[in-house]
Amino acid sequence: MVKKVLKFGGTSVGTAERIQHVANIIKKEHSAGNKVIAVVSAMAGKTNELIKLSKEISEDFDKRELDVLLSSGEQVTCALLAASLIKLKIKAKSLMNWQIPILTEGEHANARIINIHVEKIDKYLDENGVVIIPGFQGISKNGDTTTIGRGGSDATAVAVAKIFNAEKCEIYTDVDGVFSTDPNKIPVAKKIDKISYDEMLELSSLGAKVMQSSAVQTAMIYDIPLEVKSTFTERKGTKIFSQVNIDYSKSVTGVAYSKDDAKITIIGVQDKPGVAANIFEPLSKSQINVDMVIQNISSDQKTTDVTFTVKRDDIAKTKKILKSNSKIKYKEIIHKDKVAKISIVGAGMVSTPGVTYRMFRALSDEDINILAISTSEIKLSVIIEEEHVLKAIKKLHTIFDLD
């Protein structure tokens, strides 16, 4: 008898009919003799609907109460799925975050799971029952409801798999698995059968929306095998596990992109020790996530230019912080908000010469100008004009034989 964690995203449980379909998937696993813990998201669109309601009350809605509001979406799904299983004559019940409890720490809207009490759930599994629990949420040491951030149901599922020593964690979604790029934009994108944690972590952090990056990171740390598969077909999904089992013959596994970036350049910054820390420390304190950072080499040893990217929504706040920062001296701040980040990812890049050149040549052939570059062992990212995104993805997909 195998213990499995099955996670179902918002589109998988988007309607009553789909929830009943999910119940049949769980029934099949249960009938095969497996112990099943199901982690569910809110029904598709429900969280956005709740956020919209909060904004009708106040643009500065209290964070504690926002967590209480948003966590209600998963509660609805839990009850509907448990009732669907009971209708199928399967012993099942839903347990809310405070009933288990799922313990978290950290601020509202961005908490993290630190422990989950196992006794109640293990007892019910031993009695041949199926447990349905809400993703995305937990309870603080003060007894407050907390949420884990958007996409947090993945993080819940992986944490549950770790704490309950599950043999497998399956992430059910509306696509057949992880693709070489967004199949909605590039119809010739193909499904990846196997991918390493490292590659998946890069793809998810770069904008691939199949899995939340923090969930992949947790799975990698504790070596929890993952599989991303479709709720709506019975095709095999994508298996995510350690690099030992990965074939490195292909240099590039996938092409990812994000279109919510902005580029900021501080021109004529004093070139002396501590300047970079003085620039980025106040941004960090204001919870602004800085991504790519490029500093030009100073020819006169006096001034240099510092370029970095932030999320587009943060650009006004970032400029305001920079302009009020008395610790830095500069000539000018310029920004460009219609930019996008394109990245190629592949564990085989380490041992394959010429990958960088091929990417740059491919973009040059399409007359696409590169505004910034960032590299790691298994990733190469560039910032380009947003209008060229689709053209760039198509070209890179073809050049690296991903069609």
Domain that holds residue 348: 255-399
Query: Which CATH number is 95's domain given?
Result: 3.40.1160.10
Residues 37 and 160 in one domain: yes
How far is Cα 192 from Cα 195, in angstroms, rounded to an integer? 7
How far is Cα 121 from Cα 78, in angstroms, rounded to an integer? 15
pLDDT at 241: 84
pLDDT band at 109, cuts 50/70/90? Answer: confident
pLDDT at 315: 93
Residue 349 inside a domain? The answer is yes
Torsion of CA 273, 279, 282, 285, to 10 degrees: -80
Residue 213 inside a domain? The answer is no
Residue 237 inside a domain? The answer is no
Residues 36 and 151 in one domain: yes
Q: How many CB atoms lie within 10 A of CB 85?
A: 26
pLDDT, the chain, mean: 91
Residues 168 and 260 in one domain: no
Question: Average pLDDT of 364-384?
Answer: 91
Longest C-alpha distance within the chain, in Å?
Answer: 78
Question: Average pLDDT of 384-398?
Answer: 93
Q: Which of 14, 156, 139, 10 has its CA nearest to residue 67? A: 139
Residue 185 inside a domain? The answer is no
Residue 83 inside a domain? The answer is yes
Query: What are the pLDDT digits (tens) for 348-361?
Result: 887 788 899 999 99
Report the alpha-carbon angle 286-146-82, nearest 5: 145
pLDDT(76) > 90: yes
Single residue among 174, 203, 234 that ends a domain in this structure: 174
Helices (H), 59-115: 63-70, 72-87
Residue 115 inside a domain? The answer is yes
Question: Average pLDDT of 92-120?
Answer: 95
Question: Average pLDDT of 295-318?
Answer: 86
Residues 163 and 297 in one domain: no
pLDDT band at 245, cuts 50/70/90? Answer: low
How far is Cα 328 from Cα 280, in angstroms, rounded to an integer? 11
Residue 249 inside a domain? The answer is no
Residue 209 inside a domain? The answer is no
Single residue among 115, 150, 174 that ends a domain in this structure: 174
**Model-level pTM?**
0.80
Query: What are the pLDDT digits (tens) for 155-195?
Result: 999 999 999 999 999 999 988 999 988 887 888 888 999 89
Please tell me the total count of domains within the chain: 2
Per-residue tokens: 256: 């990812």
Q: Which of 254, 263, 261, 291 has its CA nearest to residue 393? A: 254
Single residue among 145, 174, 203 that ends a domain in this structure: 174
pLDDT(219) > 80: yes
Query: Which CATH number is 263's domain given?
Result: 3.30.2130.10
pLDDT(343) > 80: yes
Residues 161 and 259 in one domain: no
- CA distances to 95, 164, 175 from 157, rounded to whole Å, are 14, 11, 18
The percentage of residues in the chain with a pLDDT greater than 70, rounded to a whole number, is: 97
